[in-house]
A and B are shown apart, each in its own frame.
Chain A
Amino acid sequence: MDITSALFLLIGSFLCLSGGVGILRFPDFYTRMHAAGVTDTLATAMILIGLMLQSPDALVVIKLIIILLMTLFISPTASHALASAAIHNNLKPVLENKKDNE
């Protein structure tokens, strides 16, 4: 039990850190949003599953499942809202072709 929980926590922390590095180093808003949105949801899922395996109480496990379900609903929706608001206000993504032509 402890080893699988520690494994999930480790994977979750690694994904979280890679998302953080991505949000600093990617060149454009849309690529950063890709890093933030994907790693956010997956890291949350991994860490919450790791915590679930560690707790003895049934009520705590149910609350963790509720947080997990809510995050699975909320996080992609927020990314979608952000991206569609950005497109709506004419923030253009940087396309690779321009740099090749120059």
Chain B
Amino acid sequence: MLIAATIAILVVMIMSILRAVLGPTFYDRILAVNMIGTKTVLLISLLGFVMGRPEFLDIAIVYALINFISVIGVLHYSDSSVFKRSNEHKK
């Protein structure tokens, strides 16, 4: 059962990577990266149980926090007026 869940999560991660490559707008890609991040947390927890080493849960906690901070960082800095100015220069 654990192995089936692991395979399901891997399939979902591949689907998210497809969306990250395809997605027409910038926000689609950030959404896909966020989803890959949360699925990685689950993947690491499941792998920890499959391989019998519960120390992996520390990595899962760290990865959940880092994912959150990275998404907030990307959104904050994409909103920054520096990018809007450089986009206007291109137009």
Contacts and interface: CB of A to CB of B under 8 A. Distances in A.
A101 interface: no
A13 B4 contact: yes
Interface of B: 1-2, 4-5, 8-9, 11-12, 15-16, 18-19, 25, 27-28, 30-32, 34-35, 38-39, 41-42, 45-46, 49, 54, 57-58, 60-61, 64-65, 67-68, 71-72, 75, 78-79
Contact of A54 (B30, B49, B75): B49
B25 to A, nearest CB: 6
Interface in A78-98: 78, 81-82, 85-86, 88-89, 91
Interface of A: 5-6, 9-10, 12-13, 16-17, 19-21, 23-24, 29, 32-33, 36, 40, 43-44, 47-48, 50-51, 54-55, 57, 59-60, 63-64, 66-67, 70-71, 74-75, 77-78, 81-82, 85-86, 88-89, 91
Contacts, number: 120
B62 to A, nearest CB: 10
Contacts of A16: 8-9, 12, 39, 42
